[in-house]
Amino acid sequence: MPEHELAFTGIAEAGALLRAGKVSSVELTEAAIAQAERLQPTLNAFITETHEQARDAARRADADFAAGIDRGPLQGIPVALKDLCATKGVRTTAGSAVLADWVPDFDATVVRKLAEGGAVSLGKLNLHEFAYGVTSANEHFGVVRNPWDTERIPGGSSGGSGSAVAAGICAGAIGSDTGGSIRIPAALCGITGLMPTYGRVSRAGVVPLSWSLDHVGPLTRSVEDAALFLNAIAGFDPADGSSLDEPWFDAAEGIGAPVEGLRVGVVRQQFELADDDVRQAADGALKELESLGMRLHEVELPLLMQARALPILGIEAAAYHAEWLRARPEDYSDEVRTLLLWGATFSGVDYVNALRVRREFTEQVEAAMREVDVLVMPTCPSVASRITEIESGVARFAGLTAPWDHTGQPVLSVPCGFGDGGMPVGLSFAGRPFEEALIGRAGHAYQQATDWHLQRPAMAVSS
Amino acid sequence: MPEHELAFTGIAEAGALLRAGKVSSVELTEAAIAQAERLQPTLNAFITETHEQARDAARRADADFAAGIDRGPLQGIPVALKDLCATKGVRTTAGSAVLADWVPDFDATVVRKLAEGGAVSLGKLNLHEFAYGVTSANEHFGVVRNPWDTERIPGGSSGGSGSAVAAGICAGAIGSDTGGSIRIPAALCGITGLMPTYGRVSRAGVVPLSWSLDHVGPLTRSVEDAALFLNAIAGFDPADGSSLDEPWFDAAEGIGAPVEGLRVGVVRQQFELADDDVRQAADGALKELESLGMRLHEVELPLLMQARALPILGIEAAAYHAEWLRARPEDYSDEVRTLLLWGATFSGVDYVNALRVRREFTEQVEAAMREVDVLVMPTCPSVASRITEIESGVARFAGLTAPWDHTGQPVLSVPCGFGDGGMPVGLSFAGRPFEEALIGRAGHAYQQATDWHLQRPAMAVSS
């Protein structure tokens, strides 16, 4: 197998090869490192690479396989971590100057769970400063590039996660989503992103942006891989006050299950907010869903436009950053500092009113989802814009994603075609809380019927 | 039976008499009306009396009994409603000038449920203006008096509910509790008050004070009656966004169950904040609980003092009243207007920080309650103060109750003795969410072993 094909082996497939003895974790890891060494100088997906630790972890995984020890589907698989996950002994910057020299003495719960599952981490991925900001550049650690067109943004805030997974540097990566930061880079980089149900994945040790909106979850190349990755990091964690003590579940249980008769709610308003090229791709996906036997229904959500403009994220971010912002304002970029100061201008009454709209919108979605099983919509209104276009920021890209951070429900983004400039387009499936398996069922069936998720950026497969 | 004894017949006892044909609802209701006619001129417990409707309802209840129709334990029983519950065709003032002429065209869910259960409503009970304010007087509808000493306050904000139940005008009354407004009048009037789990009782049609803190619940003379009353008004209501869709439960299932070995967490900090007379009565209650076989444990809650000073109530009240306050400020008393303006001064960041403390405190209580079954503490730090003492306000009285509105857990207050001036003292049992039956079990056992709840104010039993 050529090295770049090994690099593009996904979690499910690599797991089968590892267990059949057809490939070793060391081989997978060396292919990943080779891919990183070749592409990182261009993409800048990583802030910190930990290749030697990765090699050690790969050897341990191979020793475990040899000894008959199986820690689960992530064992031996190359992954990477958005650099707001605390890593013991490895600098954790959150993309900021404030934490540029922070070396935690503990692992975030998701990092510990990945290690316990035998995953091989290649390092810490670039992101927007503190996962905030509306433009694409990270002033402190440089701009991340999209492997489909290196003059374009990968989307944010988990831009390094999107870029590295799309480029075949790793099979999956941790991202976090507060207004769309998993789903946007997944869509713009042509990969799969899964924002789990709020409270499903621990945030302990993950630098917060907004406590009531932050979700930690995976970016991978397939729905099946996203489900396997989620299984490895999910679960109740008393160290996270928002963690939910729910019974264990299998996010992958819907993979391969039939989808005939599944009721799909089309959020037409989101289609109308999208550019023509995006809408065309998403309309094509609707036809595909119908041809798979799913039944389409139109869904109206009158509060959708209000839900995308709520100040909750800004206010909560201002609360988290208040002390640093007073003590060392010069360590923030102008842009993030301005956003945080903007968040601080809201009153308690504004916040209460926003929470009320949030609840009403959530009730509207709940009511709509009594009639349908999943909702579908374009993930972003546009394909990835050029790095030089300042208006290409998160603000516009997050318009279609942000409402869904407020409801606590899981959303899965999958590639559904290509738009202007040959850039990928993403389609989102939103489920009821705790129904990751159901949206995975729909998304996997869609991926089986199409091959958008198997397309590779040219730079990543040429040698 | 002398009329005042009939007036003091509780829900459980009257229900047995009604079903044995030993008394009619009309007799019970006439006794209640007689008591009201005698005492209302002094106590001012009611804003609006609906005696003719009550007589009609009593006749219907008797007809139902005669026809073998039994709508449950409230059928034929005289009750009354805090005047912030909307009543179709009957003015609903919320104790305010703003709503002084409001005649709703619908019933609050709890009002409808009481009617469906065959209860007989005597009218609408006095309260603090919009259930807010720290002094005892209602500027618009006059001061309510405590039947134990008419120169003293009944506590608030459900002062009319406390006064009317303590005086034997009705067997039970609806109250609402945002910072202590059920438990404080229960304690100061020597009766039983039950704040249910947040979300257990619908608030649809109840004028809000603070959406994340408001609880609707009963004031009665015994724990058993409180449980029967709660059963009649509890349950999921889609019209209230905070209503919880939980399986049906029986709040009375613990009545009469054994209490040996029950683990009681003593919140010593709350004892230390109480006056000597209150502490003495509460200490006596602890001895009684031990002699019943309960096991006492000391409980430490480091955030308790912070939890009593959170601005959440003030901010949420300011949000609810913002439009009226701008449009007709003159319709508010100086005191309530000032409180609302104070609430409006807080920032969104303040509110977020308060929510964080609230969550941490809730986690502290949850952790403590993994080791104990119930918590006990004095309900209020003092007995009812004189109406002329301006410092006798809710602010001081709510100091021990307000923390528990933030945690969402149920709390039951029962009389546990008398303090200075021969005024009643209340003891609170706090339970885990949804464990009303367990605190009822402890509270009922305590009432069986003592007779504090059987004491009657002299004015209410003399004729």
For the cut 50, the answer to whether the pLDDT of residue B419 exceeds it is yes
**Mean pLDDT to the nearest integer, A303-328:** 95
Global pTM?
A: 0.89
CA distance B36 to B161: 13
A311 vs B contacts (CB less than 8 Å): 348
Q: Which of A226-240, A381-395, B19-33, B306-320 has the lowest mean pLDDT?
A: A381-395
Chain B residues within 8 A of A352 when measuring between CB atoms: 211, 315-316, 319, 351
CB A435 within 8 A of CB A367: no
Residues B82-92: tens digit of each pLDDT:
999 999 999 99
Helices B11-19 & B51-66 angle (0-180, nearest 10): 50
Size of interface A-B (CB pairs under 8 A): 63
**Residues B395-412, mean pLDDT to the nearest whole number:** 93
Say if strands B172-177 and B78-82 run parallel, antiparallel, or are unpaired.
parallel
Q: Is A157 a catalytic residue?
A: yes
Instruction: Considering the candidates B24, B25, B82, B413, report the single residue annotated as catalytic.
Output: B82
Per DSSP, what are the bridge partners of residue A299?
A: none
The helix (H) or strand (E) run that includes residue B57 is helix B51-66
Closest CA to B136 of B163, B161, B155, B149: B155
State the total domains in chain A: 1
- The DSSP letter of residue A158 is S
Query: A146-172, pLDDT tens digit by residue?
Result: 999 999 999 989 999 999 999 999 999
CB contact under 8 A, A347 and B347: yes
Measured between CB atoms, which of A241, A353, A356 is closest to B363?
Answer: A241
Q: How far apart are CA B93 and CA B415, in angstroms?
A: 30
Q: Round to whole Å and give the CA distance between A393 and A147.
A: 18
Instruction: Give chain B positions within 8 Å (CB) of A322.
Output: 349
State residue A52's pLDDT score. 98
Average pLDDT over residues A335-349: 95
Amino acid letter at A192? T
Does A344 sit within 8 Å of B346, measured CB to CB? Answer: no
Name the residue among B270, B229, B292 with its Cα closest to residue B441: B292
A372-381, A438-447, B235-244: lowest mean pLDDT where? B235-244
Q: Chain A: give the shortest CA distance to residue B378, in Å.
A: 29
Q: What is the pLDDT of residue B246?
A: 83
Instruction: Quote the domain boundaries for residue B19.
Output: 3-461
Q: What is the pLDDT of residue B43?
A: 98
Strand partners, B427: B378, B414
Q: What does the buried/exposed string (b/e) look like for B9-23 if buried means 16 or more CB atoms within 10 Å of the residue's CB?
A: bbbbbbbebbeeeeb
CA A172/CA A174 separation, integer angstroms: 7
Q: How far is CA A54 from the centre of its chain?
A: 22
Q: How far is B122 from chain A (nearest CA, A)?
A: 35
Question: One of A24, A96, A161, A181 is an active-site residue; which one?
Answer: A181
CA A336/CA A115 separation, integer angstroms: 33
Quickly tell me which residue has 């003293």 as its tokens: B152
Would you call B323 helix, strand, or coil by DSSP?
helix
B201, B47, B39: which is closest to B127 by C-alpha? Answer: B47
Say if the Cβ atoms of A348 and B322 lie within 8 Å. no
pLDDT digits (tens, 9 = 90+) for B89-127: 999 999 999 999 999 999 999 999 999 999 999 999 999
Helix/strand/coil percent split, chain A, to 5 = 40, 15, 45
Judge: A363–B316 Cβ closer than 8 Å, yes or no.
no
Classified as helix, coil or strand, B201 is strand
β-pairing, A424-430 vs A374-378, is antiparallel
Contact predicate B394/B416, CB 8 Å: no
Task: Assign residue A403 the CATH number of its domain.
Answer: 3.90.1300.10
Our answer to whether residue A22 is catalytic in this structure is no
Structure tokens at A315: 């206010």
**Contact at CB, A241 and B359, closer than 8 angstroms:** yes
The angle at the Cα of A328, spanning A324 to A331, to the nearest 5 degrees, equals 100
pLDDT digits (tens, 9 = 90+) for B32-68: 999 999 999 999 999 999 999 999 999 999 999 999 9
Q: How many CB atoms lie within 10 A of CB A72?
A: 15
Count how many residues are written for chain B. Answer: 463
Show Cβ contacts of residue B347 under 8 Å, excluding neighbours closer than 6 positions: A344, A346, A347, A348
Q: What's the pLDDT band for B392 if we cut at 50, 70, 90?
A: very low
Q: Are A11 and A172 in contact (CB under 8 A)?
A: yes
Q: For B142-158, what is each residue's pLDDT tens digit?
A: 999 999 999 999 998 99
As given in the structure block, the two tokens for residue A220 are: 């991978």
pLDDT at B249: 87
Interface of A with B (CB under 8 A): 211, 241, 311, 315-316, 318-319, 322, 343-344, 346-353, 356, 359-360, 363
Is B82 considered catalytic here?
Answer: yes
Residue owning tokens 């013991």: A88
Minimal Cβ distance to A351: which of B211, B343, B351: B351
Ranges A179-183, B247-251, B269-273: which has the least confidence: B247-251
